[in-house]
Structure 1
Amino acid sequence: MAGFLGAGKSTLLNHILTSDHGLRTAVVVNDFGSINIDADLIADVGESIVGLANGCICCAIRSDLIGAVLGLVDLPERPDHILIEASGVADPKSVYQAFLQPEIRNDVLVDGVMTVVDAEQARCLPEEEQKLAVEQIESGDLTILNKVDLVDNETLREMKSWLSSINPRAQVIEACQCRLPVDVLLGLDARKPLVTHSAVNAQADHAQEPSTCIGRDVADHHHHENTFESWNYKSDRPLRLGLLNQVLSHLPKEVLRAKGFIYASDDPTCRHLLQMVGRRAVISSERHWCECLPETRLVFIARRGVCNILAINRAFDKCAEDAPIA
């Protein structure tokens, strides 16, 4: 998680920590003081780690980022997600590259980089500070344009155009106080059955309407119900990874996230995990199917009313091993 000083990173972390999302989420921060944790939420306190009643945990960075993350990975109850709040004057590329090192790359899969931008102040920074802010924007997979309630429509249009010129591959999501659905911020838990939104059956005609992506954490921000939508893709036919990667690379930029399991014809005995945020898609070999029925189960989050879901699902169907290659 990147963003210049005052953009709203701590506000975003507070929102995630206090949301009722059911995920065990670890947050690595430079200083606990930047996180406003309600005392009623604290379940237990350990050395450099705060456990919260909603299943989240916080860990303070001391000197070694990799060591802190590996410590979280070794906890008896491993986190589902680890969020890292980079310093407001840090270049997130160096943080991302740290997770490509041999000692950690097999234990932690990088989901993506979220960059928080202050809609009111980002273009008013002094030259040196703005240079750093631009580097942070360039590194992001999702750009959260925060504090949009403080600017007029013309300024908002100019900001979005400016952000797109810096990083055209990143989707820009508008927010007030960084309040966005946690599904959009963290993706979806691929371990659970994909029935939280409308099911799209790959063996039928994929004609069901997608449902709205909105949770209890944004119930008081009803404008999101017309902003995001989610749909599922499911197939019991093994898919060719090469073709699947091609489809993923050509998805509309309005697809914000995708996650799930893949039944791959390249390695049918092993379950593969897809994690996609913005334009960054990573497919990793996870473990054997064992007694589980091999099948592809993917879930997508996108801007509402933009994607041709039927065409996208048909494109995935064409990745099947027994599907003819055009």
Structure 2
Amino acid sequence: MPRKVPATVVTGFLGAGKTTLIRHMLANANGRRIALVINEFGDLGVDGEILRGCGIAGCTEDDIMELSNGCICCTVAEDFIPTMEKLLERATPPDHIVIETSGLALPQPLVRAFNWPGISTRVTVDGVVTVVDGKAVAEGRFAADERALAAQRAADETLDHDTPLAELFEDQLACADMIVVNKTDLLSPEEAEALAAELATKAREGVRVVRAAHGALPVEVLLGIGSAAETDMDARGEIHHHHHDDEEDHEHAHGHDEFESFVVERGEIADASAFARQVAEVIRTHDILRLKGFAAVAGKPMRLALQAVGPRVETYFDRPFAPGEARSARLVVIGEAGLDRAAIEAALRA
């Protein structure tokens, strides 16, 4: 029987650094033919654009496939399975497939999809890598505080579960074969060590917890785990979410309606640093979870890429503008339901 193509699922919360980790992986692939499947939440395929603009030799346009019609776990039959079949049917199949999930997607339904008849004999889940924003989690932004939760439950009988963000975070940890505590350059060594130890207590037995800055880990650490994750789903079950075969139940299984996203367009900006400060202020004012996109800066031939999680904003120039390409800004805003879209649009266009 032909060898199954290994696939690595990279999951993690919004802004944890999944795309940065994958860029580093591609730049250090050591001859491996790696194909990417990227799942965006929202209307703007930012992660795919970042990876296409990375200039890495051997990473061609055909090696990057995007699913932008909804999260993978909701569009398995319509989007994900045909995409995988297309990759596997190439004359020269990839050596490895890397799947970057949306920050709002549960990994468990995706891993289960590898048992579908069309691909089960041809591909296997080498490992699930959950990327954690070490600085954010250390600050308590995306992790449940058990003592505070207990106090809230005691005071309010209507509370019977964690916040949506805490639930999603725990489910991503529950599915992991490896947890990458990223952005440790923003923590002291003692803080990073304590956080890694804490996350290890929340993971399954045998799950490795590794620390990284800017997603820089050896490819040999990330690939070749050999977990065949699709064969032991009982150990990776969702703590909070349950999926059913009934289509109507499936539509309501995730709670994606607790999140929303939209795109803001504006003309070119005058100053990159000033705009980064403006974005950070908009995020703080409106409690935005994630903001990312691209912008044209007056007088600059290169496109500005912008990535923000919480109040931290990172910018860099990724590639020159193509001839005829519009010199404008397009930003995708992601947050919990109820964002004041009109106010956010006005603030970002100011």
Paired position in structure 1 for 2:98 = 83
The offset of 1:82, in angstroms, is: 0.6
Between the aligned partners of 1:23 and 1:105, the Cα distance in structure 2 is: 22
The alignment partner of 1:121 has SS state of: helix
When the two structures are superposed, what TM-score results if normalisation uses the length of structure 2? 0.49
Matched, 1:74 2:89: yes
Paired position in structure 2 for 1:302 = none
Between the aligned partners of 1:110 and 1:86, the Cα distance in structure 2 is: 14
Matched, 1:58 2:64: yes
The offset of 1:86, in angstroms, is: 0.9
Paired position in structure 2 for 1:23 = 32
Assess if the C-alpha contact under 8 Å between 1:142 and 1:277 holds in 2.
Answer: no
Q: Which one of the candidate residues 172, 175, 184 is aligned to 2:221? A: 184
Mind listing any 5+ residue stretches in structure 2 that lack a counterpart?
1-9, 70-78, 144-162, 233-350
In the alignment, residue 124 of structure 1 is paired with which amino acid? Answer: R
Q: Which one of the candidate residues 17, 20, 28 is aligned to 1:11? A: 20
Matched, 1:124 2:141: yes
Q: Which one of the candidate residues 200, 220, 223 is aligned to 1:164? A: 200
The alignment partner of 2:115 has SS state of: coil
Counterparts in 2 of 1:249-264, with a 5 A limit?
Answer: 257=225
Q: Which one of the candidate residues 145, 148, 153 is aligned to 2:189? A: 153
Counterparts in 2 of 1:306-317, with a 5 A limit?
Answer: none
The alignment partner of 1:111 has SS state of: strand
Paired position in structure 1 for 2:121 = 106
Mind listing any 5+ residue stretches in structure 1 that lack a counterpart?
52-56, 188-256, 258-274, 282-326
Mark the CA change 1:162 to 1:59 in structure 2 (over 3 Å): closer, same or farther: same
CA offsets 1:185-215 (integer angstroms, 9 cap, x no match): 112xxxxxxxxxxxxxxxxxxxxxxxxxxxx
The offset of 1:176, in angstroms, is: 0.5
Assess if the C-alpha contact under 8 Å between 2:192 and 2:211 holds in 1.
Answer: no
The alignment partner of 1:161 has SS state of: helix
In the alignment, residue 18 of structure 1 is paired with which amino acid? Answer: A
In the alignment, residue 76 of structure 1 is paired with which amino acid? Answer: A
Assess if the C-alpha contact under 8 Å between 1:29 and 1:86 holds in 2.
Answer: yes
Between the aligned partners of 2:58 and 2:126, the Cα distance in structure 1 is: 27
| Percent identity between the two aligned chains | 32
CA offsets 1:128-182 (integer angstroms, 9 cap, x no match): 2122111101110011111111112332233122211110431101101110111
Counterparts in 2 of 1:289-300, with a 5 A limit?
Answer: none
Paired position in structure 2 for 1:33 = 46
The structure with more helix, counted as a fraction of residues: 2
Between the aligned partners of 1:156 and 1:79, the Cα distance in structure 2 is: 35
Mark the CA change 1:85 to 1:17 in structure 2 (over 3 Å): closer, same or farther: same
Paired position in structure 1 for 2:177 = 141
Assess if the C-alpha contact under 8 Å between 1:66 and 1:104 holds in 2.
Answer: yes
In the alignment, residue 34 of structure 1 is paired with which amino acid? Answer: D
Assess if the C-alpha contact under 8 Å between 2:34 and 2:94 holds in 1.
Answer: yes
Assess if the C-alpha contact under 8 Å between 2:125 and 2:228 holds in 1.
Answer: no
Mark the CA change 1:170 to 1:277 in structure 2 (over 3 Å): closer, same or farther: farther
When the two structures are superposed, what TM-score results if normalisation uses the length of structure 1? 0.52
The structure, 1 or 2, with the larger RCO (C-alpha pairs under 8 Å, 6+ apart) is 2
